[in-house]
Chain A
């Protein structure tokens, strides 16, 4: 099942690469026509040519959280056993998937669901959010009221372990994992029946935490609970549950959230440059970020000099825009906290579609809550420039084929892939082929990618390459300091084919990188 020749390296390497600063400029000249897997970060296909748009280093809290976790793991002698179990679980995972396949289609939230029913119990993944007083705040399935005693038990577990000056991380049972994340004043609990690593579940819980913070700011959250410990936060979040619901669905489906990266609308570099420079020209004093989205894809992003956007914040914006239909009816103006930028305050975002029926949505993030009309004017100026330079037409043309077929690459055994440039934090991926047309199949493939991802980003024993044969597909993951690559092949392909496909694919991506990535991001 597994490739014995997998390389491992030392524990710290897992975030060495991601904490590197913006890629070194002298490496730019080394962009090879036929990139080899041994590329240095900053020269891989898709790496930005001037600077990056996204913050590179993970924030301090993330780094320390992981370091703490590692320390804990190192101290834990049972750690080895866990790892062995995980590997075993990987092999067994397919069966479990089959079992749960039936539930995937009934993923739609049923708030009224009976929490004592078997149907409720058998959901693949549960997420609960509670206050430190044990008050329910959010549940993915069922109602919070019905779960108040269950959540009480969860809180009791957390405080019981805390009383011993310790922290509860997870509970592992047969075929089920419960992961705890305490981010004061909230406690998040994730329960998964597919055997993913704790890290994947933690990542998801962190997203949910940031989603809540983006609505309220951490300052306000702390303030509320300092004044009234048993405050019912659902009052404040009422009507916003759909955002968390849709974020959870994204976590299951969107490779961007898995890879901590963003994908771009394929667009000729000329057209993209015009769009970017039009955004750049439509600036205003209070404007910090101008973001143009087409559905789930980024078209252009212009930022204030020295201000960087974190990919998590951008994903929260994606989630907000894509799951709310209200921006279609007029110009939206909303306070939004970008928690990775600053958990203390609100930005004010002007959100509007370029045309009522268009996929193109412009988000102008401002620091001034009184600046609505200025932002509205920025949008008007942007549209004017865009139309004058006929780039709007090119953009509309590009929207007609927002994706590409894997056949273009010219590797017959290749079915699908995810390629992420580490330095630009952008990824590209073809559309799903025929065999993965159904929702269930796509989600199944995502679970496979998630497993690969957790192996190559394992906090203590990350792999450089990982090949896996299955009955329905063969998979290869390849990670260097420059990129992450996940490939899915037909089950009849061989390992040798897979390995040679990497070079060929990299060459293709290099050829297409102008179109697939934003290579020269602009600032105001």
Chain B
């Protein structure tokens, strides 16, 4: 998986492609889950604006969008960055319901967040149909490797066992973040992209109804195939 190649696909080539012919834009619902303070919002901010800022804890949920252009299709990531605090756990299902991709984030310097990520996984597994959601395990705060409590090996083993994708990132330095987003884009496109019909098309700023969005659940379209 050569990163330079991905980057080229994403930026230069696709830009020309979009000029040549209208590229379909598909909506991808992405949700970030994990304990409080593992860097979900920082990752989301990196995804959205490629910036880093230390923020106060997320209240409820924050919604951001980010376009990713692949060679044959554009993906509009609708990112739901949830609050890690337990106060808001009761409403979190609202955000991960119908998600096409879920990012389980933990902090490599805090073991309890790794344990928590596994609980989130259990929670998610109750909801999703295998193959319809791309689940990515993310060990964040790679910059704190001196205080590491969870080895990369452990993360990888867990991911392999449960059939997840795995990456270690640093939202602080930006290490692996852009790469991660592109990898996710490719995986999502492969699993439920245009051919599979798992994603709905995005049409400008027209009013979008959440209920409508939920009707297009991955498994509905699976049946059509």
Chain A residues engaging chain B, CB cutoff 8 angstroms: 215-216, 235-240, 242, 320, 323-336, 349, 351, 369-374, 376-377, 380
Say whether B209 contacts A326, CB under 8 Å: no
Cα A215 to Cα B89 with chains together (Å): 12
Say whether A370 contacts B210, CB under 8 Å: yes
Say whether A333 contacts B44, CB under 8 Å: no
B87 at the interface (CB under 8 A from A): yes
Q: A324-B56, A325-B56, A329-B41 are in contact. Are A238 and B207 (CB under 8 A)?
A: no
Out of A235, A236, A326, A335, which one reaches B62, CB within 8 Å?
Answer: A326
Interface residues of B in 33-60 (CB under 8 A from A): 36-37, 41, 44-45, 48-49, 53, 55-60
- In addition to A332-B62, A373-B208, A373-B209, 7 A-B residue pairs with Cβ atoms within 8 Å of each other are A239-B57, A242-B56, A324-B57, A326-B59, A330-B79, A334-B59, A376-B63
CB distance from A246 to the nearest CB of B (A): 9
Cα A238 to Cα B37 with chains together (Å): 11
Say whether A333 contacts B61, CB under 8 Å: yes
Chain B residues engaging chain A, CB cutoff 8 angstroms: 36-37, 41, 44-45, 48-49, 53, 55-64, 79, 81, 83-88, 90-91, 94, 205, 207-211, 213
Of B60, B83, B85, chain A has the most CB atoms within 10 Å of the CB of B60
Which residue of chain A has its CB nearest to the CB of B85? A239
Q: A239-B87, A324-B56, A369-B91 are in contact. Are A330 and B62 (CB under 8 A)?
A: yes
* Pairs A–B under 8 Å by Cβ, sample size 7: A239-B36, A324-B57, A326-B41, A326-B57, A326-B62, A328-B55, A331-B64
Residues of A within 8 A of B41 (CB): 326, 329
Cα A327 to Cα B45 with chains together (Å): 12
Q: A369-B94, A373-B207, A377-B207 are in contact. Are A329 and B86 (CB under 8 A)?
A: no
Residues of A within 8 A of B37 (CB): 239
- Specify the main secondary structure of chain B where it touches its partner: mixed
Of B55, B63, B79, B88, chain A has the most CB atoms within 10 Å of the CB of B63
Say whether B57 contacts A236, CB under 8 Å: no
Q: A238-B36, A238-B86, A369-B91 are in contact. Are A334 and B45 (CB under 8 A)?
A: no
Residues of A within 8 A of B53 (CB): 325, 329
Q: A235-B86, A240-B85, A242-B56 are in contact. Are A332 and B208 (CB under 8 A)?
A: no
Say whether A329 contacts B64, CB under 8 Å: yes
Q: A326-B57, A373-B207 are in contact. Are A335 and B91 (CB under 8 A)?
A: yes
Residues of A within 8 A of B48 (CB): 329-330
Cα A484 to Cα B55 with chains together (Å): 39
Cα A336 to Cα B87 with chains together (Å): 11
Cα A330 to Cα B64 with chains together (Å): 5
Say whether B86 contacts A236, CB under 8 Å: yes
CB distance from B87 to the nearest CB of A (A): 5
CB distance from B116 to the nearest CB of A (A): 12
Of B79, B208, B213, chain A has the most CB atoms within 10 Å of the CB of B208
Say whether B87 contacts A324, CB under 8 Å: no
Cα A333 to Cα B83 with chains together (Å): 10
Residues of A within 8 A of B91 (CB): 335, 369
Residues of B within 8 A of A324 (CB): 56-57, 59
Say whether B55 contacts A326, CB under 8 Å: yes
